[in-house]
């Protein structure tokens, strides 16, 4: 039966079904929601550009959001195959992506703070967690283990993410360092969890 899709076109969920749009990872072939994948575009000069905000024009090339997939796609020239042309790819692409994702997370945290959807500091995080306001807690990866343990005990069931350093978390709050951050329910928390 003909579906009207070419083999190279990504399959998307129908808008009326209520499901999110899905794309196929070029490394694994897995079909996943767009929020779980990284998008890349090719500029006019043939350079591969990571599009962490999803706003750049052009046909997207989609890849699972993990370092191994990036390395596999580069080693097997999967980006070139997907683009059907030679590409200029940064040899440190995985590090570039990590820096861009950290910047995106910090931008979102700053927006959440200004919208009143994020607080910093152990006491505020503990208070929000006890009151059921926190849906995500960020703990600095270079913070003390007992601090993360305390947060987990206060807020069982609330995901604790520890991928950012204290100075990175602090930048989102206008401080030198921040070890604990809580994010409340809302559109920004949903974006952060993905």
Residue 182 CA neighbour count, 13 Å, CB half: 25
Residue 15, pLDDT > 90, answer no
> Which of 18-22, 112-116, 137-141 bottoms out in mean pLDDT, i.e. has the lowest?
18-22
Per the prediction, the chain carries an average pLDDT of: 86
Tokens of 18: 């209520």
> Which residue would you say has higher pLDDT here, 143 or 82?
82
3-state helix/strand/coil string of the chain: CCCCCCCCCCCCCCHHHCCCCEEECCCCCCEEEHHHEEEEEECCCCEEEECCCCCCCCCCEEEECCHHHHHHHHHCCHHHHHHCCCCECCCCHHHHHHHHHHHHHHHHHHHHHHCCCEEECHHHHHHHHHCCCEEEEEECCCCCHHHHHHHHHHCCCCCEECCCCHHHHHHHCCCCCCCEEEEECCHHHHHHHC
| pTM, full prediction | 0.79
Q: Is the pLDDT of residue 194 over 90?
A: no
Q: Assess whether pLDDT exceeds 80 at residue 35.
A: yes
Question: What would the pLDDT profile of 70-112 be if each residue is shown by its tens digit?
Answer: 999 999 999 999 999 999 999 999 999 999 999 999 999 999 9
**Hey, what domains does the chain have and what are their CATH numbers?**
15-91 (3.30.1230.10), 97-193 (3.30.1330.30)
Q: Which pLDDT value is given to residue 19?
A: 64
């Amino acid at each position: 039966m003909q579906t009207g899709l070419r083999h190279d076109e990504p399959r998307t969920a129908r808008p009326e079904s209520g499901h999110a749009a899905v794309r196929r990872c070029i490394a694994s072939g897995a079909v996943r929601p767009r929020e779980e994948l990284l998008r890349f575009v090719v500029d006019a000069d043939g350079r591969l550009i990571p599009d962490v905000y999803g706003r750049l024009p052009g046909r997207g090339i989609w890849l699972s959001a993990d370092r191994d997939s990036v390395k596999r796609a580069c080693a097997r020239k999967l980006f070139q195959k997907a683009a059907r042309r030679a590409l200029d790819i940064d040899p440190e692409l995985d590090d570039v992506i990590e820096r861009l994702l950290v910047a995106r997370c910090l931008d979102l945290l700053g927006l959440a703070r200004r919208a009143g959807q994020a607080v910093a500091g152990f006491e505020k995080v503990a208070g929000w967690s006890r009151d059921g306001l926190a849906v995500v807690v960020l703990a600095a990866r270079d913070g003390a283990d007992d601090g993360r343990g305390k947060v987990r005990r206060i807020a069982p069931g609330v995901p604790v993410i520890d991928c950012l350093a204290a100075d990175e978390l602090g930048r989102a709050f206008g401080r030198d360092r921040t070890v604990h951050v809580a994010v409340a329910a809302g559109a920004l928390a949903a974006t952060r969890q993905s």
